[in-house]
Structure 1
């Protein structure tokens, strides 16, 4: 999500990654740290419910246009809707970087790259059970002072759940950020993803509130638009810069 309120004390405004489905090219200042974590995250599929606990992204500014990122889900529970059985696991660790190629503050026309590697630290069904890698090329453009167009194409290689080896996954997320006030922004998004097992379509709606220059809270929901996509996801979280 793009930054909302100008900050006099910082070289650039804080731009949380949450709660959008897509990515941003906006980076944080050198030496600054941000922690962005989920307070709740529940998803319903055709045969299971999944709850994630504490899914957290750690961001560290290491240069004017570069930040390092570490993301980890410490715990998750999958409940089989037919049998009622529950499986608790931790998730994989994702190591990445965000590189702003134009306008690291996210203003005007902004674009960049976000490469990452997934380390199999967790176990299925929360973790993927193998190594993976991804590259996102996020871009955004201010249509007006209240409307921001966002596009995030992604290509990834991920482990297959039902058999060995990896598969290629292509994802594209298109979103519109709408300013509802000085401290509130709405994100309306559509997402398409395809691999050798399924093609999925999603629609998302999320809102973020700025409580201070360095603190945001958010809530959102995602609806699946076809039978291959999880039917519903509801989540909330907070983002804090230090």
Structure 2
């Protein structure tokens, strides 16, 4: 009996390292390409980069047509098992404008603002089942006029993600912000809500459909912007992703169209 007991103990000890090696060592759940945000966080010691190689947006109000082309990068740095720091930056942006009456054209190019954020998960930081988080942030006016907002702003994001099963998911992202006024000086209240439905086409390809409504109480004029979006994310490996986002404006005050191509990489 003693020999059997010692043999079982040795087998248990020998199997322990193997089980530890099989435990997951990555947590890869990009915000991209959603209009909203995910509820999961990056693991400590890991850095997740999310890149928009090309992000084009057109806004035509009948008097002026604007085309904004930019690249964006966000670094998500794991701090604890349920919190991360975020640094977002627009390294390059170009804004082209054309006055319909006079035909006058202008062009502004430069870097954009820097956004610093902190995400704290309150439920399932691995992004499974029902995950939720709180994410306060501040944006610093480091960008050139026309590309950057012109002043600092701050706000909080509340993402909630529900993975119903291996195929379907639902998500909601609420955001409240002290946004920069249109003239670049001072701040006003701005609130946005995004609701989305996800469907796994395969084990590596996921499609999302979203609806976004924003209420912007700028002193220059209170407006409501409604957007519809469709996106596809292709998981190349456990640490890499390519994605595509297409957005259409649903009312007069919303941008007419937007297309963004990018991806994510986990280190």
Using structure 1 for the length normalisation, give the TM-score.
Answer: 0.93
| CA-CA distance at 1:12 after TM superposition | 4.5
Structure 1 segments of 4+ aligned residues over 4 angstroms from their partners:
none
Whether 2:239 is the aligned partner of 1:214: answer yes
- Paired residue total: 234
| CA-CA distance at 1:97 after TM superposition | 1.0
- Whole-angstrom CA distance in 2 between matches of 1:140 and 1:78: 34
Superposed, which structure 2 residues align to 1:217-228 within 5 Å? 217-228=242-253
8 A contact 2:150–2:184 mirrored in 1: no
| CA-CA distance at 1:195 after TM superposition | 1.4
SS at match of 1:195: strand
Whether 2:157 is the aligned partner of 1:136: answer yes
**Structure having greater relative contact order (Cα 8 Å, sep ≥ 6):** 1
1:52 aligns with one of 34, 54, 70: 70
| CA-CA distance at 1:9 after TM superposition | 6.8
8 A contact 2:172–2:193 mirrored in 1: yes
Mark the CA change 1:9 to 1:90 in structure 2 (over 3 Å): closer, same or farther. farther
- Whole-angstrom CA distance in 1 between matches of 2:126 and 2:82: 9
SS at match of 1:181: coil
Which residue of structure 2 lines up, in the alignment, with residue 62 of structure 1?
79
RMSD (Å), alpha carbons: 1.2
Unaligned runs of 5+ residues in structure 2 are 1-21
Superposed, which structure 2 residues align to 1:91-110 within 5 Å? 91-110=112-131
- Whole-angstrom CA distance in 2 between matches of 1:163 and 1:22: 25
Which residue of structure 1 lines up, in the alignment, with residue 28 of structure 2?
14
- Whole-angstrom CA distance in 2 between matches of 1:73 and 1:163: 18
Q: Which has the higher helix share?
A: 2
Using structure 2 for the length normalisation, give the TM-score.
Answer: 0.85
Whether 2:56 is the aligned partner of 1:42: answer yes
Whether 2:260 is the aligned partner of 1:235: answer yes
| CA-CA distance at 1:75 after TM superposition | 1.2
Which residue of structure 2 lines up, in the alignment, with residue 111 of structure 1?
132
- Whole-angstrom CA distance in 2 between matches of 1:29 and 1:155: 27
Whether 2:135 is the aligned partner of 1:120: answer no
Which residue of structure 2 lines up, in the alignment, with residue 188 of structure 1?
209
| CA-CA distance at 1:154 after TM superposition | 0.6
- Whole-angstrom CA distance in 2 between matches of 1:211 and 1:166: 41
